[in-house]
Structure formats: structure tokens, C-alpha cells
Amino acid sequence: MEAIVAAAIGVLTASGVWLLLRPRTFQVIMGLALLSYAVNLFIFGMGRLVMDRPPIIKGDAIDPALYADPVPQALVLTAIVISFATTALFLVALLAARGLTGTDHVDGKEPGQ
């Protein structure tokens, strides 16, 4: 499982970085979205990958090995919300830039102009 998750994070990051460096704003925003997915998975992975273990302690059993770490799950939730919101904000700036400059190039002008 570790290998699959690691590969998924790697592929997401690689495509995210590649798209981030592309000249069109739409590609950039896609790249940022992919990168934020990769980061969210990464945070999740930092709480160790375990199966069939609840994050909430029930009863008197306090052996931590029986439970998943709840903190990264809470962090992921916060990170998802924040990156979602900032990406939406970026989308607004991007549309404004498209409207004002008439091009979707990140520099606000077509290359060669």
C-alpha cells in the first residue's frame, strides 16, 4: 500500500509541477489543484498508513497501536478547505486578468507581442 500511495503522490506532484510551469493560466490552476491533492495525501500519509483502526478512542482500551492518528486527518481537513478557498480566489484573479488583458498567458501578453 505504501508503494501505491507514494507513487500516487509522486505522479500528482510531478504533473502538478509540470503544469505549474506552463504558460497558460488554466494550466497553472490545474497544476496548483493537483499539487494540493498531492500535499493532502502526503499529510495523510504522515499519520502512517493503517487499515481498520478507528481514530477515536472508545472504552477503556488505551493502547495507541489500536488506533489511527487523528491529528493528520484533522490537518488534512483544514488544508483541503484552505487550498480550496485560495484556489477559488485565484480563479477570480485569473478571470479578471483574462478580461483585462485579453489573453490567458500568465504574463498578460502573448509571447512575441
Partner 1 sequence: MSPWLQHLPVVPIVAPLLAGALCLLILDRSRARIVLALLSLMVQICAAATLLYLTTDAMPAIWTEGVGTYSIGDWPAPFGIVLVVDRLSAIMLLLTSLVGSAALVYSLAHWDRVAPGFHSLFQFLLMGINGAFLTGDLFNFFVFFEVLLASSYGLLLHGSGSVRVKSGVHYIVVNLTASLLFLIGVSMIYGMTGTLSMAQLPQLVARLDPDDRAIFQSGAAILGVAFLIKAGIWPLNFWLPTAYAASSAPVAAAFSLMTKVGVYAVLRVGTLLASGDVRSSFIDIGLFYGGIATIAYATIGMLSAQQLGRLIAYSVIGSSGMLFMTLGLGIEALTAPALYYLLSSVLATGAFFLLNGMTDRARMLSVSTPADIAPLPDVTYQGFGVRESPDPHSVEDEIGIAVPAAMAFLGLAFVCCVLLVAGLPPLSGFIGKFAILHVLVNTGGDGGMSWNVWALIIAVLVMGLAGVIALSRIGMRLFWTVTGRTTPRLRLIEAGPVAFLLALCIGLTVGGRPIMTYLDSAARSLHSPETYIRVVMSAQTRGDDGQAQEAAP
Which of residues 60, 100, 112, 113 is near partner 1 by CB under 8 A?
100
- 54/73 with CB nearer partner 1: 73
Grid cell at residue 110? 502573448
Which of residues 93, 111, 112, 113 is near partner 1 by CB under 8 A?
93
What's the rounded Cα separation, in Å, for the pair 1 and 5? 6
Q: What is the DSSP letter of 55?
A: S
What's the rounded Cα separation, in Å, for the pair 19 and 40? 18
Which of residues 27, 42, 55, 67 is near partner 1 by CB under 8 A?
42
Residues in contact with partner 1, shown as a per-residue x/- string from 57 to 76 under the rule CB under 8 A: ------------x-xx--x-
What sections of the chain are H helices per DSSP? 2-20, 25-46, 70-101
CA distances from 29 to 33, 35, 58, 77, 102 (A): 6, 10, 42, 21, 18
Applying CB under 8 A, which residues contact partner 1? 20, 25, 28, 32, 35-36, 39, 42-43, 45-48, 69, 71-72, 75, 78-79, 82-83, 85-87, 89-90, 93-94, 96-97, 100-101, 106-108
